[in-house]
């Protein structure tokens, strides 16, 4: 009996010990580690889930969609985005126009960040801010939302509106593709822009790429070669050389230059013309693109002067466009120039540029001598319609006078009428421009078979509406810019004017009527509006029916192009009025104008500022003249312009 009792006690003790262990463990779990296990339980049934923000859309200048984001992830038929491969794909970023403006738009990487183009430049605005929510998960691992749990709503990205016009972009890309195919060329670039604002209306590369499937295209096709490729421009640079000669009064349009039967020797090397010339005018030398004549013209330049003008026209420096990958080009410092660099540069060699740099330099010829910064976007706008940021027309510097620019435009018209660019002519319109052909460098010199062929032109001559340039990379067969690129210009301009949804036809016809009435135009003298406020200048110019545009956000007009006293018949468009933030009308005290002539421009500038007189500087070096004579009593609403002897870098 005692034996059974002992066994019972032992069993009871073991059970009591087990119970004690269980109770102890439960106490530890429930009391000591209770919070830990509650949190773990919650984590098993609740999950913090990221709610991605909807990436902002990209639109053309008329609000037509170029890029959009699909909310969440959904299947999309590849045919919808212009991809030839069949089947289904899961996409978050969609480019409805396929390869239209692909290199300009860029694309999205796997991490959701923008790669290249607009997607990269404006990634911060387009991305928005992701939100989050707490989601429940049941025993079958199904996730569902539950009211009352903490979370944060996503903030959708802002939309970007470009200056690109979808219809014009399609025209340009179609013509480029046809041209490259017909010439069996390596590729091509084209830009169409408004020369008065610097706004890019079309920017195309051929071959292009489809940003819906970027990895299906080589890296070279994804780059925007208009800003990233550097090339020697060849004879299109002769327009710059001509501008310098005219501005410095070294040559005028009718001066005779000896073409020397197409041969010119300098520093032991021979410069030749494809079409030998005898004694011809400077205008004719530009029309036939005579290397010999332009080499002689540049012989009269000093190295420092040629370098300064080249810098002023924007060579050797980025244009400042809001696109990634822009190159500076190559403009060697004077100390590294050889004896023949000056004459070689005059023909567009020993200087390299991006295509956009060339276009901006030509825009200054068209708009009256003002180098502008290019603009690729109009505005950035939140989904609620609030404007986050907008572009502004920005003048970099005055590179030549309005008179010089007008004379050069008329010279460039002869290039199309009877020179190397006859194939650029558009029926019924006055067209001007310049052709260019340059050999590509290779080991030991320049290639005889690989070329850059180009044409940059504008329409119409007297009141330009559009500036358009084309560069063909390694055409086969004919290589001259007049035979290769000029026809593409004609096709683009003809289609742009004829397109029913583009406004260029009305502008061309309206300005064409004004241009034909040149006798009346010559009787309209440009009034002086510098120093006036926007309001008074607007009222005055409206009363005499002269078109104008403002540049800048100030209330007072600091500078005008063309200058007061010019005739509207010599000006291609509206008067450009540059404003400043300072309001000089606030002080009613009149001041005596000091004498700045003969002084260093910096010293003269300081002298005028000391006297409290608003001053605008053109050029650099020593002051050659001033717009208001020394000793004259100046009202506070007027601005004095100082003209330097040389151009600034």
Residue 281 has φ and ψ, to the nearest 5°, of -75, 165
Q: Give the structural domain span for 529.
A: 522-646
Q: Is the pLDDT score of 497 beyond 50?
A: yes
* Residues 105, 224: Cα–Cα separation, whole Å: 9
Q: Can you give the pLDDT at residue 149?
A: 60
Residue 27 lies in a domain: no
Angle between helices 355-366 and 238-247 (to 10 degrees): 40
Residue 66 lies in a domain: yes
Report the pLDDT averaged over residues 211-233: 93
DSSP 32: I
Angle between helices 402-418 and 238-247 (to 10 degrees): 140
Q: Is the pLDDT score of 309 beyond 50?
A: yes
263 and 149 in one domain?
A: no
Residue 433 lies in a domain: yes
DSSP 174: H
By C-alpha distance, which of 327, 243, 340, 248 is closest to 299? 340
CB-based contact 620:646 (threshold 8 Å): yes
CA dihedral 514, 516, 522, 525 (to 10 degrees): 10
514 vs 411 pLDDT, higher one: 411
Of 7-21, 170-184, 437-451, 510-524, which range is least confident?
A: 510-524
* Residues 44, 342: Cα–Cα separation, whole Å: 77
Residue 406 lies in a domain: yes
DSSP 215: G
CB-based contact 103:205 (threshold 8 Å): yes
Residue 586 lies in a domain: yes
- Report H helices in 184-224: 219-222
User: pLDDT-derived band of residue 6, with 50, 70 and 90 as boundaries?
Assistant: confident
Residue 597, both tokens: 């002539």
553 and 451 in one domain?
A: no
- DSSP for 35-101 reads HHHHHHHHHHHEEEEEEPPPPPPEE-TTS-EEEEEEEEEEEEEGGGGT--S-SEEEEEEE-TTTTTT
Residue 208 lies in a domain: yes
Q: What percentage of the chain's residues is helix, strand, coil (to nearest 5)?
A: 35, 30, 35
47 vs 327 pLDDT, higher one: 327
Report the pLDDT averaged over residues 202-209: 95
205 and 124 in one domain?
A: no
Whether the bond between 562 and the residue before it is cis, its omega within 30 degrees of 0, is yes
177 and 123 in one domain?
A: no
3-state secondary structure of 20: helix
State the total domains in the chain.
3
252 and 137 in one domain?
A: no
Contacting residues for 140 by C-beta, under 8 A, at least 6 apart: none
263 and 297 in one domain?
A: yes
145 and 202 in one domain?
A: no
100 and 187 in one domain?
A: no
CATH number for the domain including 145?
A: 3.90.1310.10
**Average pLDDT for the chain:** 82
Sheet strands side by side (includes 159-162): 88-94, 65-77, 58-59, 159-162, 377-381, 387-390
Report the pLDDT averaged over residues 612-641: 69
User: pLDDT-derived band of residue 517, with 50, 70 and 90 as boundaries?
Assistant: very low
By C-alpha distance, which of 410, 404, 446, 445 is closest to 430? 410
197 and 113 in one domain?
A: no
> Strand 256-258 and strand 615-618: pairing?
unpaired
Q: Is the pLDDT score of 244 beyond 80?
A: yes
Q: ∠ at Cα 437 (436, 438), nearest 5°?
A: 125
Residue 21 lies in a domain: no
186 and 142 in one domain?
A: no
* This prediction's pTM: 0.72
> Strand 548-551 and strand 575-580: pairing?
parallel
Angle between helices 402-418 and 355-366 (to 10 degrees): 110
CATH number for the domain including 580?
A: 3.30.10.20
Q: Can you give the pLDDT at residue 153?
A: 75
- From residue 604, how far is each of 530, 544, 628 by CA, in Å? 20, 36, 13
Residue 98 lies in a domain: yes
Domain stop point among 493, 516, 539: 516
Q: Is the pLDDT score of 516 beyond 50?
A: no
465 and 336 in one domain?
A: yes
Domain stop point among 516, 533, 555: 516
Whether the bond between 207 and the residue before it is cis, its omega within 30 degrees of 0, is yes
Q: State pLDDT tens for residues 281-290.
A: 999 999 999 9
Q: Can you give the pLDDT at residue 340?
A: 87
Q: Is the pLDDT score of 62 beyond 70?
A: yes
The dihedral sign for the CA sequence 438, 442, 448, 450: negative
Q: State pLDDT tens for residues 428-476.
A: 788 999 999 999 998 878 898 999 999 999 998 888 999 999 999 999 9
- From residue 558, how far is each of 228, 533, 578, 606 by CA, in Å? 35, 10, 6, 17
183 and 142 in one domain?
A: no
Q: ∠ at Cα 518 (513, 524), nearest 5°?
A: 110
Q: State pLDDT tens for residues 119-138.
A: 999 999 998 877 766 666 65
CATH number for the domain including 311?
A: 3.40.710.10
Q: State pLDDT tens for residues 90-101.
A: 337 899 999 999
Domain stop point among 448, 483, 516: 516
């Amino acid at each position: 009996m005692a034996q059974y009792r002992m066994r019972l006690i032992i069993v009871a003790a073991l059970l009591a010990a087990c119970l004690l262990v269980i109770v102890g463990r439960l106490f530890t779990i429930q009391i000591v580690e209770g919070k830990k296990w509650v949190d773990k339980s919650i984590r098993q049934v609740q999950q913090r889930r990221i709610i991605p923000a909807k990436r902002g859309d990209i639109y053309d200048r008329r609000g037509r969609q170029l890029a959009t984001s699909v909310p969440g992830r959904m299947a999309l038929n590849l045919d919808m985005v212009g991809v030839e491969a069949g089947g289904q794909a899961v996409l978050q970023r969609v480019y409805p126009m396929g390869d239209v403006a692909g290199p300009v738009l860029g694309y999205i990487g796997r991490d959701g960040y923008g790669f290249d183009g607009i997607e990269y430049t404006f990634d911060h605005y387009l991305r928005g801010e992701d939100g989050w929510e707490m989601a429940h998960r049941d025993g079958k691992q199904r996730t569902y939302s539950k009211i009352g749990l903490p979370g944060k709503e996503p903030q959708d990205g802002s939309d970007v509106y470009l200056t690109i016009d979808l219809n014009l972009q399609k025209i340009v890309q179609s013509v480029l593709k046809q041209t490259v195919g017909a010439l069996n060329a390596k590729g091509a670039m084209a830009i169409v822009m408004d020369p008065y604002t610097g706004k890019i209306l079309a920017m195309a590369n051929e071959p292009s790429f489809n940003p819906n499937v970027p990895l299906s295209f080589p890296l070279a096709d994804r780059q925007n070669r208009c800003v990233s490729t550097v090339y020697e421009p060849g004879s299109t640079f002769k327009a710059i050389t001509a501008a310098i000669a005219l501005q410095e009064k070294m040559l005028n349009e009718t001066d005779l230059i000896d073409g020397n039967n197409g041969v010119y020797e300098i520093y032991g090397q021979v410069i030749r013309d494809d079409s030998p010339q005898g004694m011809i005018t400077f205008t004719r030398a530009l029309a036939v693109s005579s290397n010999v004549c332009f080499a002689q013209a540049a012989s009269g330049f000093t190295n420092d002067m040629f370098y300064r003008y080249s810098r002023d026209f924007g060579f050797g420096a980025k244009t400042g466009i809001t696109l990634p990958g822009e190159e500076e080009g190559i403009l060697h410092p004077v100390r590294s120039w050889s004896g023949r660099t000056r004459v070689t540069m005059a023909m567009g060699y020993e200087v390299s540029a991006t295509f956009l740099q060339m276009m901006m330099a030509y825009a200054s010829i068209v708009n009256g001598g003002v180098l502008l910064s290019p603009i690729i976007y109009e505005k950035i706008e939140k989904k609620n319609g609030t404007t986050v940021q907008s572009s502004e027309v920005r003048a970099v510097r005055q590179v030549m006078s309005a008179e010089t620019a007008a004379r050069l435009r008329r010279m460039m018209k002869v290039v199309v009428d009877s020179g190397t660019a006859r194939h650029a002519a558009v029926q019924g319109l006055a067209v001007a421009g310049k052709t260019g052909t340059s050999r590509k460098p290779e080991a030991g010199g320049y290639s005889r078979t690989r070329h850059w062929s180009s044409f940059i032109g504008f329409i119409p001559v007297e009141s330009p509406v559009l500036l358009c340039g084309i560069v063909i990379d390694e055409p086969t067969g004919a290589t001259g810019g007049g035979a290769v690129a000029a026809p593409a210009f004609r096709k683009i301009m003809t289609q742009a004017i004829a397109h029913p949804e583009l406004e260029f036809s009305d502008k061309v016809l309206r300005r064409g009527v004004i241009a034909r009435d040149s006798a009346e135009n010559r009787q309209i003298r440009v009034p002086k509006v510098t120093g006036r406020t926007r309001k008074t200048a607007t009222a005055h110019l409206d009363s005499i029916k002269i078109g104008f545009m403002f540049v800048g956000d100030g209330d007072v007009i600091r500078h005008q192009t063309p200058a007061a006293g010019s005739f509207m018949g010599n000006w291609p468009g509206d008067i450009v009025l540059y404003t400043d933030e300072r309001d000089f009308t606030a002080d009613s005290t009149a001041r005596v104008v000091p004498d700045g002539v003969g002084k260093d421009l910096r010293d003269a500038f300081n002298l005028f500022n000391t006297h409290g007189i608003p001053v605008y500087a053109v050029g650099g070096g020593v002051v050659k003249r001033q717009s208001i004579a020394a000793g004259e009593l100046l009202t506070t609403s007027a601005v004095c312009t100082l003209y330097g002897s040389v151009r600034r870098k």
